[in-house]
Structure 1
Amino acid sequence: MTRPEAAAGPRPALLSRYTAADLRVFTPDEASRFTPHGAGDPRQDAVLAWELLYRLEPRLYDRLASAERLHPEVVNWLPRDVDQIVEVGAGTGRLTMELIERGRRVTAVEPALPLRRILRRKIAAAGCLQRVRLMHGYFDQLPLPDDFATLVVSCSAFTPAPEHGGEAGLSEMERVCKPAGCVAIIWPNHLDWLADRGYRYLSFPGPMSVEFSSHREAAELAEIFYPQAADEVRRHGWRRIPFEVLGVNPPRDLAYKVLAP
């Protein structure tokens, strides 16, 4: 699981949270992907800092993701009543829990074990373990057969970077999608890159905010993830923070491709 804005620019508070010593949390496979030269500095590399967050403080990430709610029309646009759905980079289930109502069977692929554990608990609490299969896997090595699902989707996870999708990841998503099925990237970045590969773009209007459970929660997480807006959040006593205040594109859009029949 990664985030579009992780590649857009550094977040000073998050960058100061981890050190190179924390890289030992990676499995050998993860280390080969995220620190291929045997070293890295999460104080300088925002993408690396996010990967450490997922593994060292998954509950902290889940608190943020739970507040960054998708535009309802994004989910409503997705196909309904399909047989098989695959979600890649499922994280802690921001989209997964919505997909359960749209397909007979959902396969959620997530490489970070701590995030999968949180997602499994949510699925169990919803009584849906029989309908959702959780799997370890990466964009470029999906553990699924060809033409498997009618809908293959990723939310706040795919980027053109090879370690978080790229050409190989997009090819894999299309490989496991059935002919005439749909591949959808929710909350996408690098729209031109996707357009060059045949993806169309949709965006849904209306004001959007990050909605925390309390002002205290909002102030604490803004300090970590949105430090440029933390003073304003505290000053206004906000629990709901407009995305424009945070300087982040809201999750109101998607890029999609319907494969040839």
Structure 2
Amino acid sequence: MGKEFLEIFEQWAESYDDSLTNDIEYEEVFCHYDHILNNVAKRSTGHVVEFGPGTGNLTLQLIKKGFKVTAIEPSAAMRKIAKEKIGARAQLIEGDFLEFKLDFIPNTFVSTYAFHHLTDQEKEEAIKQYSNFLPIGGKIVFADTMFVTKEAYDEAIKVATEKGQQHLAEDLQREYYTTIPFLTEILEKNGFSAHFEKMNDFVWIMEGEKIDERGK
């Protein structure tokens, strides 16, 4: 998953949880954070595979709801912190959105605040892989920053710059944020329905349910 960002994940691991509530620049991005995690968890079903668990906050929510969880994280520093939180209650392995090994059939793929580390081409490759794994009725439930249009994305950068939110503006330009129409297209092309729900000014939940075998 965006291996070019791995060094950032390693540096951010120790301060990530604190930044959720104490970083004013990202206050709007993490607004309703617990509500977002709960929404992803409640839309999940069966054996859940989580990409980019980071420090394990969604993983804990999934465990509390009784799901069997396999969490796939590329950052060793993040995995260490997540392991301290979840112990033996979930499987935590090295890997990313595109490079992972599963010896079971998952029911749901989930992720929060991470899919934007993939380019649009990589996002499409990932969705195609998940279609190959999931049975009919299987789901993808991702919460991430995304935009209704390219113009809305450009406006978000402009507003962040005008507010003096330098780090947020830089992140928006450095990472690979995309649009809801594009995500809808790649979901439907690979046999999924597509539903989006706005969580805050930046974050939407993307929910795709596999309805046929297109894309295989």
The normalised TM-score by structure 1 is 0.55
1:97 to partner: Cα distance: 1.3
Q: Which amino acid aligns with 1:153?
A: V
- Structure 1 residues 175 and 64: CA distance shift in structure 2, 3 A: farther
Choose which of 175, 181, 195 in structure 1 pairs with 2:184.
Answer: 195
Which one has a bigger Cα radius of gyration? 1
Q: Which amino acid aligns with 1:196?
A: E
Residues of 1 paired with 2:37 and 2:52: CA distance? 17
Choose which of 120, 126, 139 in structure 1 pairs with 2:97.
Answer: 139
Q: Which residue of 2 aligns with 1:170?
A: 127
2:137 is the counterpart of 1:152: no
Per-residue CA deviation, residues 142-162 of structure 1 (Å, 9 max, x unaligned), is 21146x222111111113734
Q: How many residues align?
A: 166
Contact 2:46/2:68 (CA < 8 Å) preserved in 1?
yes
- Structure 1 residues 57 and 160: CA distance shift in structure 2, 3 A: closer
Residues of 1 paired with 2:97 and 2:49: CA distance? 12
Identity of aligned residues (%): 22
Per-residue CA deviation, residues 38-94 of structure 1 (Å, 9 max, x unaligned), is xxxxxxxxxx4xx32321342022322466352526624644784311111111123
1:163 to partner: Cα distance: 9.4
Whose helix fraction is larger, Structure 1's or Structure 2's? Answer: 2
- Structure 1 residues 103 and 86: CA distance shift in structure 2, 3 A: farther
In the TM superposition, what are the counterparts of 1:55-134 in structure 2 within 5 Å? 55-65=10-20, 68=30, 70=33, 72=35, 75-76=38-39, 78-79=41-42, 82-124=45-87, 129=88, 131-134=89-92
Q: Which runs of 5+ in 2 are unaligned?
A: 23-29, 147-177, 189-193
The normalised TM-score by structure 2 is 0.65
Residues of 1 paired with 2:111 and 2:44: CA distance? 18
Residues of 1 paired with 2:135 and 2:90: CA distance? 19
- Structure 1 residues 81 and 181: CA distance shift in structure 2, 3 A: closer
Residues of 2 paired with 1:53 and 1:165: CA distance? 19
| Root mean square deviation, CA, Å | 2.9
Q: Which residue of 2 aligns with 1:233?
A: none
Q: Which residue of 1 aligns with 2:210?
A: 259
